[in-house]
Structure 1
Amino acid sequence: MNETMEQKIGSLVEPIVRERGLELVDVEYIKEGAHWYLRLFIDKDGGVDMDDCSGVSHAVSDMLDQKNPIPQAYMLEVSSPGLERPLKKEADFVRFQGSLVTVHTTSTFQGYKEFSGNLVGLIDDEIVLEYEDKRIAIPRNVVKKTHLSMEF
């Protein structure tokens, strides 16, 4: 399997984040306009602050300067995943059971491309939601992204 840049960076960065008592939620490596951005999203119980982001940024920057895994110039950004945090790892689907989530699919599934409901969990590689008074099981292979949702 060919490792993506996000996976490669994630495996390099994860120990640095973890040793600070933080969780690496997501890694995004993306070109916007003429510039490349490496975005790291970190979290901890109670949320992260500027000191957490700054500490991770400095440590990761030093490590990436030494290892040089990214061929072109990029801008490093470290931040909280925000209120609508993505769910990616199996542990996320356990941790946030009962929470309101939104699932976006890559193509139409049962007539829709977006589903919001309370997360039942990840069962047999399907994301199961309580949706409009019924359960819906969405296969992970058709899911583009899943994130927490806020009710206003």
Structure 2
Amino acid sequence: MKQASERLSNLIEPIVIGMGYECVGIEFDQHRRILRVYIDKPEGVTADDCSAVSYQVGGVLDVEDAVTGQYSLEVSSPGLDRPLFKLEHFVRFVGSDVRLHLRRALNGRRNFKGPLRGVDGDQITVEVDGESFVIPYDSIETARLVPDFSAAAKGKRHGE
């Protein structure tokens, strides 16, 4: 996964949690110099929520000089195509459709899209075209939920 360093996570997560949000995940794109913080809460996230978290996180990062050089800080909701950063996220969204991209090919493929059928230890089971694939968690480079537009149109969030 394209997660931020442990140092950045250790600085940012307590701030987000202390403000009453779930810290879904943190990414740092070294090439584009973008630090992304995904936040959530049961009733959803507003632009004001993102602004408040950005202000607090940005202040701490500046004081701690946690990122060398220039960078952009983006704080947002995880969106309909929610990224899955932690094993607990996979457990939470069993039954949802996911899109996975692996670091290395498994059975000749790196991309998988289909229902998340289960999690057993650190093994993720995804069904693609009627065939089940068991994928080691640590082989996943990126993982996202596939948007459920029909649920979104009814005002429901993933997993409701």
- The TM-score with structure 2 as length reference comes to 0.81
Counterpart of 1:9 in structure 2 is 8
Matched, 1:100 2:79: no
Letter in 2 for 1:23: E
Instruction: Report the Cα offset of residue 129 of structure 1.
Output: 1.5
Among 118, 123, 127, the residue aligned to 1:121: 118
Matched, 1:55 2:52: yes
- Structure 1: gaps (5+ residues): none
Is the CA contact (8 Å cut-off) linking 2:23 and 2:38 kept in structure 1? yes
The whole-number CA distance in structure 2 between the counterparts of 1:151 and 1:79 is 19
Counterpart of 1:86 in structure 2 is 83
Is the CA contact (8 Å cut-off) linking 2:26 and 2:36 kept in structure 1? yes
Instruction: Report the Cα offset of residue 32 of structure 1.
Output: 4.6
Say which SS state the counterpart of residue 147 (structure 2) adopts.
Answer: coil
Q: Deviations over 1:27-65 (max 9, x none)?
A: 1222455xx222211112232111110110111111112
Percent sequence identity over aligned pairs:
39
Letter in 1 for 2:25: D
Please list every run of at least 4 consecutive aligned residues from structure 1 whose deviation after the TM superposition is greater than 6 angstroms: none
Distance verdict in 2 for CA 1:95–1:66, change over 3 Å: same
Matched residues, number: 147
Letter in 1 for 2:118: G
Among 144, 149, 156, the residue aligned to 1:147: 144
Counterpart of 2:28 in structure 1 is 29
Say which SS state the counterpart of residue 15 (structure 2) adopts.
Answer: helix
The whole-number CA distance in structure 2 between the counterparts of 1:110 and 1:54 is 44
